[in-house]
Amino acid sequence: MAQRERGSRTRRLILEAAAEAFDEFGYDGASTTDILARCGLTRGGLYHHFPSKEAIAAAVVEAQSEALVVVPHPVNLQAAIHLTVTYTQRLQNDPVLRAGVRLTVEHSSFGSRDAAAYEAATGAMLGLLEQAGSQGELLPGVDIEEAAQFLVGTFTGIQLVSQVYNNRKDLLPRVSTMWRFVLPGLAQPGLLPRLDTDADEIAARNGVPN
């Protein structure tokens, strides 16, 4: 295995161990000793990748943007729907992404002004809505900046409520519901019947994300 690839695997190992430790003890309660115990590295091996617990947490938080995978589609609103479905599948399957969301929400809840995770998501959505607008997919008068902010806020809340109720097990149907309520205020009426909002079916076609 090339050294770079091994380094990247070790990094991922650390992030997964940290995600577990943050999950069990919370950010404040988790120590680098807990993280070391889970990934089996020496302290030197850990510090080679991350100088501190703060740096590990920052990397976990940044991993959220990597989960924003935009796959082009002839209908940009359909690409936006797919983006939320893929993100949901990753939330359900990737402990590092879940920990990143948790740290973001937890820091938010203590008044942190770190909006980077929301800005990355808003940027991805904005790009799709701009293209949707230029292709005539949107209702006249839709402010795409407002719409992008709204969609990110909505998704954030829906995943939070789904987490509290059942650990995000029902997040796919909640995402379907979200789009069914939101699209009539966003999309050209003629486009509505052609948009697929069945998140469960889209997810099944996607398969399990890697």
Q: Which residues bind a second copy (CB under 8 A)?
A: 23, 26, 28-29, 102, 105-106, 108-115, 118, 146-147, 149-150, 152-158, 160-165, 167, 174, 177-178, 180-186
CA atoms lying within 13 Å on the CB side of residue 22: 26
The distance of closest approach from Cβ of residue 192 to a second copy in the complex, given in angstroms and rounded to an integer, is 10
Q: Find the angle CA(7)-CA(13)-CA(16) to the nearest 5 degrees.
A: 145
Q: Are 120 and 64 in contact (CB under 8 A)?
A: yes
Nearer to a second copy, 5 or 110 (CB): 110
Nearest to 17 by CA among 41, 47, 45, 48: 41
Name the strand (E) or helix (H) holding 88. helix 76-93
The distance of closest approach from Cβ of residue 66 to a second copy in the complex, given in angstroms and rounded to an integer, is 20
The distance of closest approach from Cβ of residue 49 to a second copy in the complex, given in angstroms and rounded to an integer, is 25
Nearer to a second copy, 59 or 139 (CB): 139
Q: Angle, to 10 degrees, between the axis of helix 171-182 and the axis of helix 144-166?
A: 150
Nearer to a second copy, 72 or 110 (CB): 110
Output DSSP code: residue 5. H
Nearer to a second copy, 10 or 120 (CB): 120
The distance of closest approach from Cβ of residue 154 to a second copy in the complex, given in angstroms and rounded to an integer, is 5
Nearer to a second copy, 135 or 149 (CB): 149
The distance of closest approach from Cβ of residue 79 to a second copy in the complex, given in angstroms and rounded to an integer, is 19
Decide: residue 209, CB within 10 A, 0-12 exposed, 13-18 middle, 19+ buried: middle
